[in-house]
Structure 1
Amino acid sequence: MRGVYLPGGRRVDVREVPEPQPGSGEVVLAVRASTICGSDLRAIYREHRGEGPEAYQDVIAGHEPCGQVLAVGPEVERVRVGDRVVVHHISGCGQCDECRRGYQISCTSPRRQAYGWQRDGGHAEHLLARERDLLPLPDPLTFLDGACVACGFATAYEALCRVALAGGEQVLVTGLGPVGLAAGMLASAMGSPWVVGTDPSPERRALARDLGAVDVAVEGDEDELGDLLGDGAEVTVECSGAGAAQLTALRHTRRHGRCALIGEGGTLTVDVSEVLIHRQLTVHGSWVAPTWRMAELLERLARWDLHPERVVTHRFPLTEAARAYEVADAGTAGKVGIVMAE
């Protein structure tokens, strides 16, 4: 079979690799869709970051896979051949306190592995996964919907739940890449009547408006945001990972409001007294989502008839993975997917 590797320096290799065989507690998936995440671009595609167990280990890339069970190994009890599943992309030890709470992303064991980083990921025809990392994909959702949930939509949903978004509250989203689009769409589904988005890219602002992910999309000028939001939004979600946008999100959070920071990277310099203490803000650092929250989101997406694949602007076959990464890296598109079957 074929698998995609990221050797750094904005290169993509498609290699012939052996077919995986399931061991105890493992299954083999026929991958149907595997989307590209901004962290893949930042930390692997452009350069190899990380040291020791956190580093990319020259495995098949792609940590947002969705597919169908093709084969099961011994002691697999919950899934069956033919099941449609989403892969929670962090495989934790299952024993530490974080794993017991469902937060495999924060697993403290050296045995923690991320699909596409330390173990083979979804940019391949078949994927070897642990049964415990699989979540059922509801029938109304497509495989591409599931791939979008595997990281991006689940990350946005966790952040909105962490800030306890209530119906009727205004939301400001800074950064209208795929995660920002997800945050805007989900905020509306959760009852926000007014979602404002900011992004320096005119293409991304236009896409956000066209998708209905936001009610208004602007570049992020302070005066313009002041006119739109007055004293600020009750809830802000920072999705860009840029220091300037992080400060914008905090400055335009209403007094006693809540801000979630989910964009990776950036260096934030802030007047703590003026911006945070005197305005009595609650600030959350939110990283991906626990397994139970991802399962909850999948159920609610089906109930809301909300399809995450709407944010996918470009779809490529596995053989065109290099082009898929080029498009994603340009920073003007929505979500980019590698699609084997829909």
Structure 2
Amino acid sequence: MRAIAFPGDDTTVIREFDDPVPGPGEVVVRVRASGMCGSDLLFRRGAIAVGTDIIQGHEPCGDVHAVGDGVTPMMARVGDRVMIHHYWGCDACPACRSGWPQMCEREPSKVMGISANGGHAPFLKVPARTLLPLPDALSYKAGAAIGCGTGTAWGGLQRLGNVAGDTIVVFGQGPVGLSGTMLASALGATVIAVDIDDNRLQRAKSFGAASTVNSRSSNVVEAIADLTGGRGAPLILETSGKANDDALAVLAPWGRACFLGLPGHIEFDVQAHYKKQWTLMTSWTMSTIEQLRCAEFIAARNLPIDDIYTHTWSLDQGVEAYEWFAQQSDGKGVFEF
């Protein structure tokens, strides 16, 4: 089969791989949609070396195509519509058993696109335990987004705790930030969306933002002060990795801030801020449990998750697709099979 790989020199190649065959405890998924994620560009540029022997794409979604020995009908059946948690570990340590295989305590986790083949291919082999049911109300594209980008926003919001009734500033309105805006609004928060691009901010309004601030043309601190009656923001979700200073500058006393954007850097003077009683936290994607909860939440509220995507590509357009995506100027792409 043909699939997408990255040599690590800021290019994309499409090459032949063997069709996967499931071993004991494994399944082969017929990929229907595979999302493009900003972290893919780290692999493409060689910042994280992976090589052309690894198929890229860690946001896959599809149907169970074949099952290996030991996979019971309770685990997976041919034809099941499934999402995939793109990490797996030992499946026995406390982290794995609580749904956090990316934090496996016994061995390095397998990660799609880095140490295991990903979903930019017609077929994908994974352990059966990585599968999660895709709600009937959701498209394959929706399931792909929830598998990383949208799920990452959900994970950050869950780290922040109850956001209903509060004001939250979402810094960055790329795919993760737009997802954060959509989900926070649906959870009952008043969202202030911040970005440097007016087109992204206009999209943020369609995803539920009550107000928007262009941080390139406006003073963010003054704008947030005006929008919050001078109190500052009680909640922050930073998704860009580039606005950490602004995030701290607008965070209100007793505020909570979660930082998702990579690579990112945070530095502050404790003496200048310790009286503010802040809670600062990070978040790493989401657990298997929260991935499913995110999907069920989106389905129950009929949220416009498919509109996260601005471009749809075929596998044969993989080189062109990543040339576009590397510009990071417009939206999110997805491969459909």
TM-score bracket for this pair, using the shorter chain length? over 0.9
Residues 181, 213 of structure 1: 8 Å contact kept: no
Number of the residue aligned with 1:20: 20
1:205 positional shift: 2.1
Residues 6, 52 of structure 2: 8 Å contact kept: no
**1:76 and 2:71 correspond:** yes
Decide which moves more: 100-109 or 147-156.
100-109
1: CA distance between counterparts of 2:330 and 2:254? 35
Q: Which amino acid aligns with 2:44?
A: Y
| Root mean square deviation of aligned Cα | 1.5
Which of the residues 310, 317, 320 maps onto 1:323?
A: 320
1: CA distance between counterparts of 2:328 and 2:196? 11
1: CA distance between counterparts of 2:109 and 2:133? 22
1:110 positional shift: 3.4
1:56 positional shift: 6.2
**1:66-215 matches, cutoff 5 A:** 66-77=61-72, 78-192=75-189, 194-209=190-205, 211-215=206-210
2: CA distance between counterparts of 1:82 and 1:238? 38
Residues 224, 233 of structure 2: 8 Å contact kept: no
Q: Which amino acid aligns with 1:121?
A: G
SS in 1 for 2:284: coil
SS in 1 for 2:147: helix
Q: Which amino acid aligns with 2:39?
A: S
1: CA distance between counterparts of 2:297 and 2:201? 26
**1:206-245 matches, cutoff 5 A:** 206-209=202-205, 211-220=206-215, 221=219, 222-229=221-228, 230-242=230-242, 245=243
Number of the residue aligned with 1:274: 272
Give CA deviations for 1:183-234 in whole Å, capped at 9, x if unaligned: 0000011011x2111112233223323x334222222222222212331222
1: CA distance between counterparts of 2:108 and 2:282? 24
2: CA distance between counterparts of 1:321 and 1:13? 8
Q: Which amino acid aligns with 1:227?
A: D
Residues 83, 143 of structure 2: 8 Å contact kept: yes
1:236 positional shift: 0.7
Which of the residues 234, 252, 255 maps onto 1:254?
A: 252
Give CA deviations for 1:292-337 in whole Å, capped at 9, x if unaligned: 1111111111111114221100110011112221222222222211
2: CA distance between counterparts of 1:155 and 1:132? 20
SS in 1 for 2:257: strand
Residues 203, 332 of structure 1: 8 Å contact kept: no
SS in 1 for 2:158: helix
Give CA deviations for 1:85-127 in whole Å, capped at 9, x if unaligned: 0110111121222212211122234352111211110000100
SS in 2 for 1:80: coil
Instruction: Give the length in aligned residue pairs.
Output: 330
Q: Which amino acid aligns with 2:223?
A: E
Q: Which amino acid aligns with 1:207?
A: R
2: CA distance between counterparts of 1:338 and 1:109? 34
Give CA deviations for 1:237-279 in whole Å, capped at 9, x if unaligned: 000112xx1121122122111111111212222222323x211
2: CA distance between counterparts of 1:109 and 1:39? 25
2: CA distance between counterparts of 1:327 and 1:273? 45
1: CA distance between counterparts of 2:163 and 2:293? 17
2: CA distance between counterparts of 1:147 and 1:58? 23
**Identity level (%):** 38
2: CA distance between counterparts of 1:159 and 1:107? 20
Runs of 4+ residues deviating >6 angstroms: none
Residues 86, 136 of structure 1: 8 Å contact kept: yes
Q: Which amino acid aligns with 1:251?
A: A
SS in 2 for 1:38: coil
Residues 174, 197 of structure 1: 8 Å contact kept: yes
SS in 1 for 2:245: helix
2: CA distance between counterparts of 1:190 and 1:262? 19
SS in 2 for 1:283: strand
Decide which moves more: 212-221 or 24-33.
212-221
Q: Which amino acid aligns with 1:30?
A: R
Q: Which amino acid aligns with 1:173?
A: V
Q: Which amino acid aligns with 1:195?
A: V
Number of the residue aligned with 2:36: 36
1: CA distance between counterparts of 2:200 and 2:10? 22
SS in 2 for 1:7: coil
1:57 positional shift: 7.5
SS in 2 for 1:251: helix
Instruction: Say if 1:4 and 1:57 are closer, same or farther in 2 by CA, change over 3 A.
Output: closer
1: CA distance between counterparts of 2:108 and 2:255? 38
1:159 positional shift: 1.1
